[in-house]
Structure 1
């Protein structure tokens, strides 16, 4: 090995930026510290400002045509929604027979109390009780009138009315409904509210919880026993609460684990304090930037902060460990930090820029939340570089200067992986393998990476509201934790049980074509709608080659069959004789809306006849992709301007964009990172091939990580869509440190295997400390209540572990194989190819 005391400036190459900044760190450390503290105070002023909070699936559906069509449809057909002052909730009522006469009377009593409450602002209610009463007496339109109808009806007549209501419009009861004896175990009572136009989730949730209080005031009903509320505002509030509870649980646990491993890595209170302060400054700067930029804190951004901690820990351990190496060799404080910053600042800058590329590659996504992830993560990594690359070294110099002038004791200040230590004897195992069989190691690693990538190409993709909810067992386990770490009580757990077990459905059920077109009133409209019902795709339920669907054509035909006068109107305006009016269609609409079928018609046609919808029932064997493609095909074949929509369609569109984003960001990250590394090494070392060598272990890491996703049954979601591009940034973090140190040693005259051994022990020790800290710190995300965050934590921990193993075990063999090719085989091949050879 060369004498460290004589290491000249040319030994530790650096870029122009580093050469300008490093003198400030060495000569004016207190000024640097003060400047960073002032900046921290400025960024702290932005925390909590502007952006707010987003959670759940709505954040991923903004600006989607299908989602906007769904909102317009709900505005026109389902009571207006929030923008116009609307809200809704469903009460699940459970009894031994929820359709017995006493139960129906109790149900209609609940509707009466809700509709007549002074401050609840209920605009309408619907239940099996009110539907049965309307079948018995169509003129009974209020809950009080419907109660009198049910009181005067016999059990037999009520059973018949329930069967008629179920045939006509369907009654909201569980799948164990038996029309013969009029029995079912669970019923839904739907409530619509006339809330203020801009009422927030808390206001609307308060209304919905007060609804439960009113209902449970009736004998036979008990909240949480046989009455459970499912409201749009409650779900929104509880999804936000999930995010808060996850942060309360995960962040302290992550900080405790990280602090523990930092204690092990630093073994010195001053160094530990500096590292923790730098980590906290990174979070403050990033949160402050989000506030000033108006970027809301969302589920997907929860994962950014463990990533920043991971990179910050890595930077900090490398700087402190490299500084200790120089101090162990006899350098004084200033010289040791000067050598450290000259050598590491360039590596840190390369790591920062490649990691920024990996994160910023998510800007190629069409999902705004993934774009926000890319922006916040990229800016946060730049902050991390500045704080750990400038503030931390300045702080170290300042505090070590104080220590040298006082009797402050020294603690563990030796470098990790030093020669003679247990770790130092283990770390060169990759070098040993590279000396014995480098080609075998490289080929085996490439085969494993390729196999992992091929296997991982079959990973599933998921996007639904249910994906944000933990299972009940998970909640029960976490409830044993002390306050404030125990999660809240969540209504949606019971709701999901009802939807899945008693109603055999999730949050989606049908596919809808929404048609908002001036031609809805034209003479071709009804025929176009009728054609959309004929010969449906296999994904749609059908009978006699006609789709099972709800549409204005279906209402018109059923009304014509029941009302001779309306039938004559249809025939009068039907010139082709196919039963579908093709003349004066607007007059047909007007008469239909004024008829006894008007309420059913308004479910498919707006009052001003400017929009209509077709709601298709799906075949039981159809999957989400098939259903969405079928809806798009039918919409494209229509003359009217139709947009496929509904929760199922919107979710599938997001799934497609997630997959597209993952692939595009991976390709962009790889190409940009490869280009940047080759340019950087060409500029700094005159050897672009060093950049290619860096990427070989990274590609293996990405392939194995993709395979791990499928093996552990972790689907691709909006949360982990960036994971593959991020894994390139994390992988490069480890390989750049190893490669940069090796080049420095090798170019200075060390023999190949000696340079690899010094690198594996010196830089490998820092990599080991960084890996242990970040794997455990990121692995804490697995404790998250939200399953998507837990999965992302597992993937991040695996990605860091794979990147570390690839750097320590595989990169030495890649370097040895490259060296053999460059020094032995390529010159021989060139000599043979030369016409002058021989």
Structure 2
């Protein structure tokens, strides 16, 4: 410890003897690091945040390689408020859809199979009309009574909570993974918003939701940060009672934020490529740094004032206070940094990047406040001391009248009779710990959308009228298409999806067009509109399936013939004669239900009578749930790691200083009790255990150490 003491003495000497040099060095570093801010790369896509070993990530890559853009689709939901199932309502609906699909930027992204589904198109198909214009109310009512199409129309219509009639239409766009699909979704939203007629129209899509979130974040973050800074400034002024300390703290806070924002650019893809681009996790680092920087500043100023009150001159007070505060702050910072760096072992790249950036941020906050505040106080107070105008400092502990006296009385009472206090703490902790068992760990996009916004109202309307907004889930099946078992499994799966009671809870409807449904369509003479029945193809299939088992050779001929007749075949089945075939299944699923989304894969495995590892589902919601769960689980592990690290660091410190390592348990024990109490309080208040709250929980350990 003597070596550490010597190092601290030298640092404090340098800061106080050359304060202007210290501040100049800080300014130079701020300029250099701040120059890295323009190098910050764009945010990664949702798919890029998946764990490296995730089966969902592997499936996404396979679907993209095998089926290209057709393997993934983005769903735009058009919401029509008003009496849609009327001649005027259907005419407006059809006209809007026509305007949308003829737009070249949108039309180029429409998939080859069922790109648009609307009540108007269903009525038109049921009545076998070329155009919906001129249809009568009696004809519409007749179409609604049709056995199959009527059920589909009913599924796309409903009533809002206020009694307003609601209808929806869906438009699928090929997810090209670039700006084209996003611009197409925005264009559809503009056309829907500008549409005039008896129906009020709006749209919901992934891009619209993301734009709403980003707009609310960008527009609301500046006032929020401004308000936070004002509150911080007011509290600092309340506790410190000096403008100079307030300005030093705010200047240090500004420097620390510039440092970390610039460093993120320097170490990112456009700099040294040590980390990935900024992401939703690293964006929280500045918020973390604000609390830590203010904490470090208060600690530094408090220790300096204590030495001044003890009668020390300015230079001695700065040096002694700096030596006294550095050790506990370094211990706390080291604990927090190690806990963040443990994220490097996460399979999710953005979690590892967060650990690096957050660890750097903690270290930078500490460096700034352990140098700027002492140097600033040295410059300001030595001048006052030389002029004889230096006033006695006010202790921070006495900032609020009565607090010091109350703390003194409480401490005296605890020292005399500790048992009752220990019992109360343990009882309250036990109760809150028991309550923590019911802590929810889910995240909903609605939690971050602005309250009272039109998008949130649209989502609530969809929930009330048709069960919720939907997206398209893509499922990759690896099986031999010419085998009997594969065809039977596909048929059983289609039957299960036709029944609302047996399909997965998240599924919003039956399976879309698939290899198996194409086969039925071309080989079955149903007599329904759009029937593609081909006698020759049907005869070939009948010959291939004449026995108990499919004839592989004849079945291969059938597949070759079907592929030549139907261009959609190649978007649904990759027939590999030398390997295992790839079959793409797609079905609509409700979004904003994390529990149901998590269960999609297990539900599919129960309905699929083949091997479980031959079927894998993926969608934007599945990706989000996978990433969020992985990050939250990793942060939960980080809490345990942080506690263990804090225990180890403090044990070593107490052993090296007073030869009593067991004091570490005394120091860390209350922190554990506080964590349990925080989690229990969250459960009682209905606050879910999400990514953000898990990080705040882990961060509180480091703050507790100092």
Bin for the TM-score computed over the shorter chain: 0.7 to 0.9
Q: Which one of the candidate residues 552, 558, 564 is aligned to 1:588?
A: 558
Q: Which one of the candidate residues 291, 303, 308 is aligned to 1:327?
A: 308
Q: Deviations over 1:483-538 (max 9, x none)?
A: xxxxxxx5522431332122112446x87632256x446666424535667999x9
Instruction: Compute the displacement of 1:629 (Å).
Output: 2.6
Q: Which one of the candidate residues 86, 91, 113 is aligned to 1:100?
A: 86
Partner of 2:225: 251
Cα gap change, 1:368 to 1:723, in 2 (>3 Å): farther
Give the Cα–Cα distance (whole angstroms) in 2 for the partners of residues 73 and 169 of structure 1: 32
Contact 2:682 2:688 in 1 (8 A): yes
Partner of 2:438, secondary structure, is coil
- Stretch deviating more after TM superposition (456-465 or 553-562): 553-562
Q: Does 2:688 align with 1:725?
A: no
Q: Deviations over 1:426-465 (max 9, x none)?
A: 2224422332222342343234334323321321111343
Contact 1:359 1:729 in 2 (8 A): no
Q: Which one of the candidate residues 356, 360, 385 is aligned to 2:337?
A: 356
Partner of 1:456: 436
Q: Does 2:477 align with 1:515?
A: yes
Give the Cα–Cα distance (whole angstroms) in 2 for the partners of residues 534 and 92 of structure 1: 29
Give the Cα–Cα distance (whole angstroms) in 2 for the partners of residues 121 and 644 of structure 1: 27
Instruction: Compute the displacement of 1:418 (Å).
Output: 5.7
Give the Cα–Cα distance (whole angstroms) in 1 for the partners of residues 606 and 391 of structure 2: 71
Instruction: Compute the displacement of 1:164 (Å).
Output: 5.1
Partner of 2:458: 495
Instruction: Compute the displacement of 1:362 (Å).
Output: 3.9
Give the Cα–Cα distance (whole angstroms) in 1 for the partners of residues 66 and 689 of structure 2: 34
Partner of 2:411: 431
Q: Does 2:520 align with 1:529?
A: no
Instruction: Compute the displacement of 1:399 (Å).
Output: 1.7
Cα gap change, 1:195 to 1:424, in 2 (>3 Å): closer
Q: Where in structure 2 are there 5+ consecutive unaligned residues?
A: 111-115, 269-275, 526-532
Partner of 2:369: 388
Alpha-carbon RMSD: 4.2
Partner of 1:32: 22
Alignment of 1:337-736 (within 5 A): 337-406=318-387, 413-417=393-397, 422-472=402-452, 491-507=454-470, 513-515=475-477, 519-520=480-481, 525-530=486-491, 541=502, 551-557=514-520, 560-562=523-525, 563=533, 565=535, 566-574=537-545, 576-577=547-548, 584-592=554-562, 604-605=572-573, 610-613=582-585, 615=587, 623-632=596-605, 637-638=610-611, 641-647=614-620, 649-654=622-627, 656-733=629-706
Partner of 2:250: 276
Instruction: Compute the displacement of 1:201 (Å).
Output: 7.8
Contact 2:122 2:149 in 1 (8 A): no
Q: TM-score, normalised by structure 2?
A: 0.82
Q: TM-score, normalised by structure 1?
A: 0.70
Alignment of 1:3-82 (within 5 A): 14-15=4-5, 17-53=7-43, 61=50, 63=52, 64-66=54-56, 69=59, 80=70
Q: Which one of the candidate residues 77, 91, 96 is aligned to 1:90?
A: 77
Cα gap change, 1:24 to 1:279, in 2 (>3 Å): same
Instruction: Compute the displacement of 1:136 (Å).
Output: 4.1
Q: Deviations over 1:8-64 (max 9, x none)?
A: x99xx9545423322211222211111111001112112243233469x66754654
Cα gap change, 1:679 to 1:54, in 2 (>3 Å): same
Cα gap change, 1:696 to 1:376, in 2 (>3 Å): same
- Stretch deviating more after TM superposition (457-466 or 419-428): 419-428
Q: Deviations over 1:778-824 (max 9, x none)?
A: xxxxxxxxxxxxxxxxxxxxxxxxxxxxxxxxxxxxxxxxxxxxxxx
Partner of 1:90, secondary structure, is strand
Partner of 1:186, secondary structure, is strand
Q: Where in structure 1 are there 5+ consecutive unaligned residues?
A: 1-8, 141-145, 178-182, 473-489, 734-838
Give the Cα–Cα distance (whole angstroms) in 2 for the partners of residues 626 and 87 of structure 1: 21
Cα gap change, 1:169 to 1:360, in 2 (>3 Å): farther
Give the Cα–Cα distance (whole angstroms) in 2 for the partners of residues 644 and 492 of structure 1: 27
Count of matched residue positions in the alignment of Structure 1 and Structure 2 = 670
Give the Cα–Cα distance (whole angstroms) in 1 for the partners of residues 597 and 183 of structure 2: 34
Partner of 1:109: 95
Cα gap change, 1:414 to 1:495, in 2 (>3 Å): same
Q: Deviations over 1:157-186 (max 9, x none)?
A: 444445559549934864439xxxxx9933
Partner of 2:92, secondary structure, is helix
Give the Cα–Cα distance (whole angstroms) in 1 for the partners of residues 667 and 126 of structure 2: 75
Partner of 2:271: none
Partner of 1:211: 191
